[in-house]
Structure 1
Amino acid sequence: MVNVGRVGIWSFGLRNDDPNAAGEIREAAAELERLGYDAIWLGANPGVDHAVPVLEATSRVVVATSILNIWEYDAAEVAARHTAVSAAHPGRFLLGLGASHAGLVEGYRRPYSAMVAYLDGLDAEGVPRSERVLAALGPRMLALSRDRAAGAHPYLVTPEHTAQAREILGPDRVLAPEIKVVLDTDPERARATARQHLGMYMTLPNYTNNLLRLGFTEDDFAEGGSDRLIDAAVAWGDVEAVRRQIAAHRDAGADHAVLQVLSADPSGLPRTEWRELAAGLGLDRRGS
């Protein structure tokens, strides 16, 4: 099984096809490893090959796709690239898979059945279940994460969801929730930053249905999210606020906290905030 450790960073900016960004991506990835982070999760629908520059720039950190869209990448090709990348970097690549959303994929249909078929394809090509996780929110996909993968990587969730996910996954599967972070102690400004990010997700039924199951209402989705929703799903404030949110998820059953720093430029690399978090969380002092 790929050991993702305790704390990772989630980033849109580290998955970038622009050749002009290659140098900064490698530099930033190497710094994240030096800072003590255990894993780097690549956003923006990465393919397996997007992990290669980050793996080559580092020597210890695990690199995961978050989340590879099963509608856009052929299972056999993904399996072949997984085999090659894992051979080159043993124990350091984790394949994160997701079924995306109806409004974003042409021909979208029956996501659970599509994921089962995709996993069948990976099995046929020899991709170990211990080297993949699923972007799971609802009970059926969480159960699939338990039965057909190493665990789950839920996105846009609260500690209450983490507790429910752990109950379904059982004690032996990886549970790595994404945790949104705004390092700003001004409530109005911090929530505004969160709303700028959350607005798109409030239009996607996969997320809103999951939040409804957690006790939120349609009113909580208006204008980028209510204060109640933002305060539950986003760790805003100082590093101590982030520490409390991580602790809440861990107390609920999370193994690994995946921190996504929200800023004005979602595609940028918030390296100052990554340094502040690493220092405040003591990552460089724990021998990670």
Structure 2
Amino acid sequence: MPRPPAGTTSRTTRRAPAWRHWTRRIRHCLAPYLGLRDYRSAWLRGGFAVEDLSGGGSDRLFDELFARGKPDEIVARLTEHHRAGADHVAVQVVTDSFDTFARRAWRDLAPELLAA
């Protein structure tokens, strides 16, 4: 899974090749949902602004909706959602390439998810 610097807001970092690659992948995965009224309404009710949903999604939207990093870091983010009141969290693995099947990533993530 791509691992750009987590939690950083530096413009320099956000222009770095790893960040641009990651956001391209996220935009591709998020695009179908940004056009759906029910998702947009839920995100707006959840505190996002119209600007966060425009232009393929904002950095803030990416940071809030997607966890990235090592399996234990991803599970920590999922745990944050549960502690904040979520009774379920959907998990979708986003790989470095559109052509890459996520089996290896799921195998790496599964033990951490099961232990949580």
TM-score w.r.t. structure 1 length? 0.31
Look up the match of 2:65: 233
Matches within 5 A, 1:168-207: 183-187=1-5, 188=19, 189-207=21-39
| Corresponding residue number in structure 1 for 2:14 | none
Q: Deviation at 1:239? A: 1.7
Q: Equivalent of 1:265, from 85, 91, 98?
A: 98
Provide structure 2 residue ranges, at least 5 long, that are not aligned to the other structure: 6-18
SS at match of 1:237: coil
Q: What's the CA shift for 1:257?
A: 4.1
The structure whose RCO (Cα within 8 Å, separation 6+) is larger is 2
Aligned letter for 2:4? Answer: D
Matched residues, number: 100
C-alpha RMSD of matched pairs (Å): 2.3
Structure 2: which amino acid aligns with 1:184?
A: P
Does the aligned pair in 2 maintain the 1:193–1:262 contact within 8 Å?
yes
Larger helix share, 1 or 2: 2
**Offset at residue 226 of structure 1 (A):** 0.5
Instruction: Give the structure with the larger strand fraction.
Output: 1
Please list every run of at least 4 consecutive aligned residues from structure 1 whose deviation after the TM superposition is greater than 3 angstroms: 253-258, 263-266
Q: Secondary structure at the match of 2:48?
A: coil
AA matched with 2:3 = T
CA 282–205 in structure 1, closer or farther in 2 if over 3 Å, else same: closer
Offset from partner CA, 1:4-55 (integer Å, 9 cap, x none): xxxxxxxxxxxxxxxxxxxxxxxxxxxxxxxxxxxxxxxxxxxxxxxxxxxx
Identity over the aligned pairs, expressed in percent? 34
CA shift, 1:240, in A, is 2.9
Deviation at 1:245, TM superposition (A): 1.5
Q: Matches of 2:48 and 2:73 in 1, distance apart?
A: 22
Q: Distance in 1 between matches of 2:42 and 2:113?
A: 33
- Within-5 A mapping of 1:117-136: none
Q: Which amino acid aligns with 1:197?
A: C
Shift of 1:202: 1.1
The structural deviation recorded for 1:269 is: 3.8
Q: Does the CA-based 8 Å contact 2:27-2:57 persist in structure 1?
A: yes
